[in-house]
A and B are shown apart, each in its own frame.
Chain A
Amino acid sequence: MSFINYSSREINCKIVYYGPGLCGKTTNLQYIYNKTNPEAKGKMISLATETERTLFFDFLPLSLGEIRGFRTRFHLYTVPGQVFYDASRKLILKGVDGVVFVGDSQVERMEANIESLDNLRTNLAEQGYDLDKLPYCVQFNKRDLPNSAPLEELTEVLNPTKVPQFEAVATKGVGVFDTLKAVAKLVLTELKRGS
């Protein structure tokens, strides 16, 4: 749920990175955090287990600049990807303005990708959202690994609706900002459309 503050002249939006366990959601945010100027970012918060798996969420507040005198601020969240954290995922999706689905390119993670994408749809629907009507992008991560599936196959299975998609190597930053910019743009365009 975007929050438009006419008093402080700010537009605040919430973007959620979704995807199966270990697909690289947290790595996306870490890269963004490391490459952003100090004045444009707040602290990154990671509520994680001792083995660095996301337990509840990662949170990164970002400032993307001004539009017509309004500061645009994006709150980036990741969900915990492990299957049994479903209750937490539902909570993080509340009030979402845009979604990035991060898929794991490795062939052996295809089942996990499909399950996670189904789970995203179901959890959104439970809260009255339709994934097809939300600002939404897909990222195929871990393109550097030798066991990654061909792009055509990933597209067919994980992006049948042909939303903007990006190949990524989140550890090296490849595709990370492209993905963020695309979803941020869709969110702002949707806000404009809805006004």
Chain B
Amino acid sequence: MSNQLVMYEEELQQISNICDVLQRDSNAKAVLVIDKNGQAIAHSGEVEHLDVTSLSSLTAGNVAATGGIASLLAEKEFAGQFHEGEKTNVHISIVGARVILLVLFDERSSLGLVRLRVRKAAAELTQVLEVLVKKSEAGNQPSVFAEITDDDIDNLFND
């Protein structure tokens, strides 16, 4: 499975840092980094009251649907989306064709500021992702699966 996404400690730390800085500099309530298939990768800010898993899956579905619309219109993928709520606004952007950056913000921030900070964060994220892809393609990292036995898999289902 060549299109498998693998995340290592070092890169996750870098992604989390980018997330933290973005959240702070844009005065956002929360920032999420989501894989395009809907898996949450990293987050920062006020996420205790958020259902991060659901939010990630729905955001990825939304981005996929919007991407579908774009290709029907022979557009390249739409770069971003903005939804304005009464209390919370949502800014969604795609980074490096691979991950989604979700920013939740309120009146303490503004769309202009969020856009500006997202641009910077996206550039940094792109670099980290490139390294990550190279690293997992090189495949010289020890794989957890090499050690897993058929018995381990069977045992998972013995309840």
User: Which residues of A are in contact with B by a Cβ distance under 8 Å?
Assistant: 1-8, 11-12, 14, 42-43, 45, 47, 56-57, 59, 61, 64-68, 70, 72, 75, 87-88, 90-91, 94-95, 97, 181, 184-185, 188-192, 194-195
Determine whether the beta carbon of B57 is less than 8 Å from that of A94: no
Residue of B5, B64, B152 touching A67 (CB-CB under 8 A): B152
C-alpha spacing A63/B54, complex, angstroms: 14
- Given A42-B54, A68-B144, A7 and B156 contact (CB-CB distance below 8 Å): no
User: Which residues of B are in contact with A by a Cβ distance under 8 Å?
Assistant: 1, 3-9, 12-13, 35-39, 41, 51, 53-54, 57-58, 61, 64-65, 67-68, 72, 141, 143-148, 150, 152-154, 156-157
Determine whether the beta carbon of A64 is less than 8 Å from that of B156: yes
Specify which chain A residues have a CB less than 8 angstroms from the CB of B153 in the assembled complex: 67, 185, 188-189, 192
Known: A61-B53, A68-B152. 5 other contacts (CB 8 A): A3-B6, A3-B35, A6-B6, A68-B148, A95-B37
Determine whether the beta carbon of B3 is less than 8 Å from that of A91: no
- The smallest C-beta distance from B157 to any residue of chain A, in angstroms, reads 5
Determine whether the beta carbon of B37 is less than 8 Å from that of A94: yes
Specify which chain A residues have a CB less than 8 angstroms from the CB of B61 in the assembled complex: 47, 56-57, 59, 91
The 8 closest A-B pairs by CB, nearest first: A195-B145, A95-B37, A7-B12, A195-B143, A91-B64, A5-B7, A7-B9, A42-B53
